[in-house]
Each structure stands twice: as structure tokens, then as C-alpha cells.
């Protein structure tokens, strides 16, 4: 819930920046509301949606204190990846190999998101 405003603000900025002229033009050419949304609005808002998703992902991966204090650390309910790593390092009866594996999984996921965003961004410039 803490990271969602990053997504909302990025998406709102992308939607406000382009105006509604394209949607009005598509509707005047006979496109229905769902077609306008799918073929006009979403492709134009895609950069803002991707930017907001990446910001939201980065914030969620770094979220530790607020989640631990307010939501708790219930496995499968409120446990995030940073809390799972913390529990694996400090939990009783859990070896450090689990914590290292979770840390590597988090690192690989973050790098994959970074590479995917860079590839998408450079692919759309051409």
C-alpha cells in the first residue's frame, strides 16, 4: 500500500500529459469505448505505467520497517521478500543458505526487471 502512490502518480501524469484528443478522434471514427481503451489509451499510457510499476517494485523491494511494524511478518500473508530474508537470517532452526538463496533470488529478479525495462525503452525509441 505504501508503494502504490508511485504507480498512481506516474500513470496520472502520463494520462494527463497527452490530453483526450486521440480518444475523441478514435470515437468519432467509430471505435467503441473498449476499443479506444485497448488500442489508444493504454498504448499511450504505457510509458507511465511501466515507470510507475518499476518505481512501485523498487519501493516494495526496499520496504522493511513499515511492513514489519504495521503489518507484521506473517508468512504467506504479510511477509515481503526483505522480511523473508530477515527471518531466514535470524530465525531459529533456519540455516543461512536459505537466506542467501532468497537474497540471490531478489537480486536476480531486480536485475531482470532492470534489463527488461531498458530493453523495452530502447526498443521503443527506434
- pLDDT at position 69, please? 79
pTM beyond 0.75: the answer is: no
Among 62, 66, 96, residue whose Cα is nearest residue 82: 62
Q: Tell me: the pLDDT tens digits for 33-85?
A: 999 999 999 998 988 988 898 888 888 777 777 777 787 787 778 777 788 77
Domain borders along the chain are 1-62, 64-126
pLDDT at 126 over 60: no
Neighbouring CB atoms inside 10 A of 77's CB total 8
2 pLDDT exceeds 70?
A: yes
What is the rounded (10 degree) CA torsion for 98, 58, 38, 18?
-170
Amino acid at each position: 500500500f505504501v508503494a502504490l502512490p508511485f504507480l498512481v502518480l506516474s500513470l496520472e501524469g502520463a494520462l494527463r500529459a497527452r490530453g483526450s484528443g486521440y480518444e475523441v478522434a478514435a470515437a468519432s471514427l467509430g471505435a467503441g469505448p473498449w476499443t479506444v481503451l485497448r488500442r489508444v489509451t493504454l498504448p499511450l499510457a504505457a510509458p507511465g505505467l511501466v515507470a510507475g510499476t518499476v518505481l512501485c517494485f523498487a519501493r516494495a523491494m526496499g520496504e522493511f520497517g513499515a511492513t514489519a511494524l504495521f503489518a507484521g511478518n506473517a508468512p504467506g500473508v504479510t511477509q515481503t521478500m526483505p522480511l523473508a530474508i530477515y527471518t531466514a537470517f535470524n530465525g531459529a532452526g533456519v540455516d543461512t543458505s536459505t537466506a542467501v538463496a532468497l537474497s540471490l533470488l531478489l537480486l536476480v529478479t531486480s536485475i531482470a526487471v532492470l534489463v527488461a525495462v531498458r530493453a523495452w525503452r530502447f526498443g521503443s525509441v527506434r
